[in-house]
Amino acid sequence: MKFLSTILLLSWALTSIPSWAQVPLEAGATYKISNGSIETTTNERVPINTLIKIESISGWRVEFRELGADLEPIGPIKTGSKIWVERSVAPVDVDDIINTIVGINTHAKPDDLVDCPPLTSLRPRPNPRRNSDGTETNQTLITKDQSSLDRYFSCYKKSTSLNEDYENSYRQSIQTISSEYHKILNEEVPLESVNTLMSCLIFRESALWEGGTSHSGAVGLGQFTSIAIDQVKDFIDFSGRDNFDQREQVQRDEHKAGRLSVSELNRNLSLIAIERRNYDRYAKVRDYWNALPINPKPKSSEINGQYLANNNNHQAVMALSSLIMLNCQIQLEHSEALMTQDQKLLACAGAYNMGVGGFSKNALGRNEDQGLNAWIENLKNSGDGQSNETINHLVSINRCQTNASNYPPCGTQSDYCKELPKANSCQDDIRPQCIGECK
Amino acid sequence: MKNLILSLLMFSLTSFVQSNETAIWDWKKIDQLEAKLSKWAMDIGEKDILMMGKMQQRPEEVELIEDLFPLLLPEGYFGKSIATTCTPDFERLRKEKSLGAWEKWDKCLKPLFLIDKPKWIQKAQKDLKAQLTTP
């Protein structure tokens, strides 16, 4: 009977374990990191296969030290999040101890590592742009100029006629929109950078100027989904009432009259502040739309899937895409993320794919480590269903916009890459190499 | 063996966040969650919460706060301003408990997350909507 109850208890306990196994930690015990790495509060990553000794466990944190070859703690005490340490470690077995003592590194041995082409980085880090006095400017990205951009599009064109559509029509539309966008950013980002980013975004979204309807139902040059269509219509139709000062006063009066506690007052004032921020954002995007010198400018009621799928409406479609970019840019402006303006532009190109909230949660660096490489690393670790697509999207746009490099866009179709080597040769003697998906 | 069973039992009984993954959330549960998380945040302290905000590997409790109760986060917490975008709509839903308010909240969330909403938001949306449509 005792045996049976033990078995039952054990099976109940085991079924309570979530899909990610967790090891209950004990202070003083030794563990091996066996499932991913552990991030410390100083944003260091302690890699897989490291042996660690738990120093203390307190609330949400775990303090630990790494163990050296003699199984003695080495280096400083590090702090990680308890739940993540529990998820990452496993009890140490005899083999781990023997391997550590005899110095066998359980990471990949040097002989196992092979060079993977291409040898140069696929994600070139731009050099910082400098002022005349040698100090770095706020702008870190050196983007292609119009003629380099045109050559890039020509090099990776899907067809001559689609590239002609760009050269004869789309290029001028993007320039017109970028000029207004540049103004609304208070000219903090060079016009050329805005124009290049917008061009590369639409080039990517439209599958190399084709437009059409994607498997997910997104339409046209700007690949508008039904969610994005509703969003841009909301911007255009926005007519909220700015009565926030009055509402704040009412809350203060209620507090004075003893009908609201201090915490209720603070909570209500916080909510009003958020509504004010949302109001200002909507009003700014609407005003930008009203100022855009495009003709004809569609009424909100005319904007639907059919309208946006028609490439003849390219000017309006690209203008509507820029509303989504601007909305993101304003949200990042208010956010706690430390980024340069052109990092924000690239981030918004990523957010075009997964939403500002999705990009903020899954991609943006939570410390000062911002930029494409950090975002890609975060996306890979996020487990978000859209992360691979967003990585390809970001890498493609960055390849397109970065000056002096002409790496191909990530393949959007499985057979597209096969066609790339047939593209006419690009400038700077860089022969386009098909390297497949970027993820 | 006994120690293992005890540890597993302790773990499954004390995991506050895990228990919330399976329970159905109603209006009362949402209030209770907020009160518990508010206390949790107070106990942890502002300095540690800000530190958590700078990590990719964050405790589930703070993820839950980010998703549903971001007003509990201290000023300067990474991502607070974006996380609060739809909070006024969620608060209106909690007050009105109407399908119209739920739809307004959903309309705000959709473009913010496009494909995958955070898991706690998904759970709250699903559970609360079911209660609005059930007579």
When pLDDT is averaged across residues B33-53 and rounded to a whole number, the result is 94
Same-domain status, A302 and A179: yes
| Buried-state track B77-111, b at ≥16 Cβ within 10 A, e below 16 | bbbbbbbbbbbbbbbbbeeeeeeebbebbbebbbb
Which chain A residue lies closest to B5 (C-alpha atoms)?
A10
Q: For residues A359 and A389, is the Cβ–Cβ distance under 8 A?
A: no
Number of domains in chain A: 2
Q: How many angstroms separate the CA of residue B130 from the nearest CA in chain A?
A: 23
Work out the number of other CB atoms within 10 angstroms of the CB of residue A361. 25
Contact (CB, 8 A) for A300 and A323: no
Considering the domain architecture, whether residues A88 and A156 belong to the same structural domain is answered as: no
| CA angle at A204 for the pair A430 and A380, rounded to the nearest 5° | 90
- Residue B57 to residue A39, Cβ atoms within 8 A: yes
Residue B9 has pLDDT above 60, yes or no: no
Residue in this structure with the two tokens 């109001």, named with its chain if needed:
A279
Note whether residue B16 is domain-resident.
Answer: no
Place of tokens 């794919």: A353
B33 vs B25: CA distance, rounded Å: 9
A168 and A303, same structural domain? yes
Residues 67-106 of B with CB under 8 A from A: 71, 76-85, 87-88, 91
Starting at the edge strand found earlier in the chain, the sheet holding A51-58 runs A73-81, A61-67, A51-58, A30-33, A89-91
14-73 of A, contacting B, C-beta below 8 A: 14, 16-18, 22, 24, 38-39, 41, 43, 59-61
Tokens of A311: 């490439």
First to last CA, chain A: 55
Q: Chain A window 340-359: which residues touch B at a Cβ cutoff of 8 Å?
A: 353-358
Whether residue B115 and residue A354 make contact (CB cut-off 8 A), yes or no, is yes
**CATH code, domain carrying A176:** 1.10.530
Does residue A235 sit within a domain?
Answer: no
* Structural domain includes residue B79: yes
Judge if A88 and A175 occupy the same domain.
no
Within 13 Å and on the Cβ side, how many CA atoms surround A408?
Answer: 27
How many Å lie between the alpha carbon of A368 and the closest alpha carbon of chain B? 9
A388, A305: one domain: yes
- Residue B83, min C-alpha distance to chain A (Å): 7
Q: Is residue A250 part of a domain?
A: no
- How far is the alpha carbon of B95 from chain A, nearest alpha carbon, in Å? 13
Residue B40: the pLDDT is: 94
Residue B61 at interface with chain A, using a CB cutoff of 8 Å: yes
Q: How far apart are CA A189 and CA A141, in angstroms?
A: 10
Q: How far apart are the C-alpha atoms of A189 and A186, rounded to whole Å?
A: 8
B55 neighbourhood in chain A, CB within 8 Å = 39, 41, 43, 81, 366
d(CA B96, CA A381): 38
Whether residue A224 contacts residue A308, with contact meaning beta carbons closer than 8 Å, is answered with: yes
The residue range of the domain holding A320 is: 146-225+289-422
Residues of A in contact with B64 (CB under 8 A): none
* pLDDT given at position A9: 41
Q: Are A61 and B71 in contact (CB < 8 Å)? A: no
Flag whether A284 is in a domain. no
In a domain, A274, yes or no: no
pTM of the model: 0.80
CATH number at residue A70: 2.30.30
Cα–Cα distance, A280 to A285 (Å, whole number): 9
B116 occurs within a structural domain? yes
Residues A351, A197: contact at Cβ < 8 Å? no
The total number of residues shown for chain B amounts to 135
Residue A307 inside a domain? The answer is: yes
Residue A182 lies in a domain: yes
Of chain B, the percentage scoring pLDDT greater than 90 comes to 72
**Cβ distance A77 to A56 under 8 Å?**
no
**How many helices and strands, by DSSP H and E, does chain B display?**
9, 0
Domains identified in chain B, total number: 1
At B45 the pLDDT is 94
Considering the domain boundaries, does residue A80 fall inside one? yes
Element (H, E) at A75: strand A73-81
Q: What is the pLDDT along chain A (439 residues), one digit of tens a residue?
A: 444 444 444 344 333 334 346 778 999 999 999 888 888 988 888 988 899 999 999 888 999 999 887 888 988 999 999 988 998 899 888 777 777 666 654 444 433 333 333 333 333 334 444 444 554 444 455 789 999 899 888 878 888 899 999 999 999 999 999 999 999 988 888 999 999 999 999 999 999 999 989 888 999 999 999 999 999 999 999 997 889 999 999 999 999 999 999 999 999 999 999 999 999 999 999 999 999 999 889 999 999 999 999 999 999 999 999 999 999 999 999 888 888 888 899 999 999 989 999 999 999 988 777 788 889 888 888 877 778 888 888 988 998 898 866 777 876 443 434 444 434 344 444 444 444 445 4
Q: Which of A13, A231, A267 sits opposite B5 (nearest CB)?
A: A13
Domain range enclosing B63: 21-133
CA–CA distances in Å: residue A273 to residues A263, A267, A270: 15, 10, 5
Is A360 in the B-facing interface, judged by CB distances under 8 Å?
A: yes
Q: Do B115 and A381 touch (CB under 8 A)?
A: no
